[in-house]
Structure 1
Amino acid sequence: MSALLTAFAPIWMLTAIGYAVGRGGLLGPGAEAVLGRFVFHVAMPAALFTMVSGARPGAFANPSMVAFAAGTALACGLGFLLSGRLFGRGTADRAIGGMVSGYVNSANLGIPVAVQVLGDASFVAQIILFQVLLVSPVILTLLDSGTESGAGAGGSAVLRRMLTMPVRNPIILASLLGLAVSALGLRLPHALAHSCELLGSAAVPTALIALGLSLHTRPADGEATPTGGSGPGRAGTVLAVALKTVFQPLIAFAVGGPLLGLPGPQLLAVVLCSALPAAQNAFIYAQQYGLDTRAPRDAVVASTVVSMATLSLATWALGTFGT
């Protein structure tokens, strides 16, 4: 438990600092939007480029990743489907609903948890690549097609927007550039690599500060959202948290255990990483696409709290396999 507390402490502290800053009005009324744009357009692309350019994309082609990917696909897919069926959300909001249901906080929480509990963060690196290179582009494409800029467009316009997505979206563009550098075996000049690394290191803390700011500026229940809806409310948060912290790790366990027969330590790694809470990227994505940020924000905060119990339970239940 102490290891988990150590891993979670920075998340809570930075979010609390963001709330305190917002409550004190230190950064002005537009701080949340400005910080969100900085993360989405500058810091996060730098972090992803640095991460992908120094990694091997083929690293996630293994049975453990198959089990993790199965849990992710089913959780995201079910979150996307139920957000529309139960709450009548549009395509873009359903994409965010799917994201908070299955996109794990792999970087700033997954790495310390893996190091503390598993003693090795190599599997988390594979998860980061999987989410950046495969999951994020799908989510961003749905967001693009479901917002005003993509809605109502003709067939040729939709195709044109999909084809130009990598150029227009800084997250995808940075990931593809990093993939190209990795595939070509290029080594960036030290000054450039260090600058990208330094800039990218601001992504996570700034996103958490923005998340904390949003907690202070929370709209009242029933207040109109940017897309004109009222939001799924508590029921949507409960659904997303249940899918993220319970359903996803259970699917990963079922696929990795009975179906694939993974060894104990690998099964523990898959289930533990699948039980990680929702990533704050969902809040940033919703903010930048002009969507209702209440649902992703509440799901990120609630899943972070609940995952303390589910991560502890997974470690206790499966930890004996790793001995």
Structure 2
Amino acid sequence: MNEITATLTRLLPIAALVVSGWWLARRKIIASELSKPLCDLAFLLLIPAYLFPKLYGSDLGRLFDLTAIGAYAAVAITGMVIVATLCLRRAELGPADTALRMMAACQVNTAYFAIPVFVQLFGDATPIFPILILQVCLLTVVVLTVLEFARTDHETHRHPAVTVTRSVGAALATPVVVACVAAIVANLASWPVPESVLSGLSFAGDAASPVALIALGLHLGGSTLRLRGATPDENAVIVFKCAILPSMVYGVTEYVVRVDDPWPAYLTVLAAMPTPQNVFVLAGRYNVGLDFAGSVVVKTTVVALVLLPVWTLLMT
């Protein structure tokens, strides 16, 4: 009973901030449209500011556990293959629709959701960083490449190498990846970074979690959940993302691959995070599955909030 109370107490600030943003949007005190600039503020400035000093001061040998990262990568890639195989059985779903569903089912909201969750539950968000880099540099590149090829088919016949290069460049140029790579290089090279710079970045980075959670709440407040009329693949993606993927990660890290504690707990809770908002961003950018993407992002966020205490208690 004490563990349940302690877990719920740690998760309460996260739920409170999301609900506050939702209530402010619903009451029209703050326009839900402001979620976009707030998300941009968090993604372009606050989260990179949080990541750099944390990674710079980390023990990279402990943080980059290759066995744990490899196990998670194997599960995520397997999940994407499963989703792609199921999508290919439906003739009405083209390559772009399939790529969007692969991303929605197997990638997680690290920046806006996982960081505050890990800070509250484990007191440390650094275990997220290797998976964040894996997700952006590998999984997102696969999705972007498929989307770029699909767009090429409808626009111009671009050389495949150009398409892949464009996809890789788009993934690696994100501020989060730039901050992570810069911190890792500075850490490995033992380059001195002035304490005033690190403290200034930490000061700005401390605002990342509350700003991201309130922005998420504003987004939810301005969204309309379609409980009826949801497509079968939409419901299947939600179930896969919120229940099957974390179960697969738990099974592999506990019973298949020898992963040292506390990595099974870290990876299972991380896999239980909702679909990233980037799915909605990419859907708009490539003009494919916009309603599907918006609905899945909202619904997986709600379901993840409900199931998070269950996954947390299972791993403690």
Q: Give the TM-score normalised by structure 1.
A: 0.76
Count of equivalent residues = 292
1:188 to partner: Cα distance: 2.0
Q: Deviation of residue 9 (structure 1)? A: 0.9
SS at match of 2:58: coil
Q: Show the 5 A alignment for 1:90-239.
A: 90-100=98-108, 107-114=115-122, 125=126, 127-147=127-147, 151-152=151-152, 153-162=158-167, 164-165=169-170, 168-219=173-224, 221=226, 232-239=233-240
Task: Calculate percent identity across the aligned residue pairs.
Answer: 18
- TM-score, normalised to structure 2, is 0.77
Return the letter of the residue paired with 1:144.
L
What is the CA deviation profile of residues 255-290 of structure 1, one whole-angstrom value per residue up to 9, with x for unaligned ones? 35xxx3x6xxx44x2332233155768433234433
1:13 alignment partner, one of 16, 23, 43: 16
Q: Which segment drifts farther, 170-179 or 284-293? A: 284-293
Distance 1:35 1:163 in 2: 26
Q: Residue 134 of structure 1 aligns to a residue in which SS?
A: helix
Structure 2 distance, partners of 1:96, 1:304, is 17
The residue type equivalent to 2:136 in the other structure is S
1:283 partner SS: coil
CA RMSD of aligned residues (A): 3.4
Stretches of structure 1 lacking an aligned partner (at least 5 in a row): 116-120, 224-228, 316-323
Q: Contact 1:54/1:182 (CA < 8 Å) preserved in 2?
A: yes
CA contact (8 A) 1:32 1:213 kept: yes
Map 1:23-102 onto structure 2 (within 5 A).
23-60=26-63, 62=65, 66-67=67-68, 69-70=70-71, 72-87=72-87, 88=93, 89-100=97-108
Amino acid at match of 1:109: V
- C-alpha contact (below 8 Å) 2:225/2:295 kept by paired residues: no
Q: Write the distance in 2 (CA, Å) between the matches of 1:212 and 1:240.
A: 20
- The 3 A distance-change label for structure 1 pair 78 and 254 is same
Partner SS for 1:293: helix
Residue in structure 2 matched with residue 318 of structure 1 by the alignment: none
Q: 1:23 offset after TM fit, Å? A: 0.7
Q: Distance in 2 between matches of 1:17 and 1:31?
A: 14
Q: Return the alpha-carbon distance in structure 2 between the equivalents of residues 136 and 102 of structure 1.
A: 10
Separation (CA, whole Å) in 2 of partners of 1:273 and 1:246: 13
Per-residue deviation, residues 70-99 of structure 1 (Å, max 9, x unmatched): 1x2244224323433445433244223211
Pairing partner for 1:283 from 276, 279, 292: 276
- Which stretches in structure 2 are left out of the alignment for 5+ residues? 88-92, 153-157, 285-289
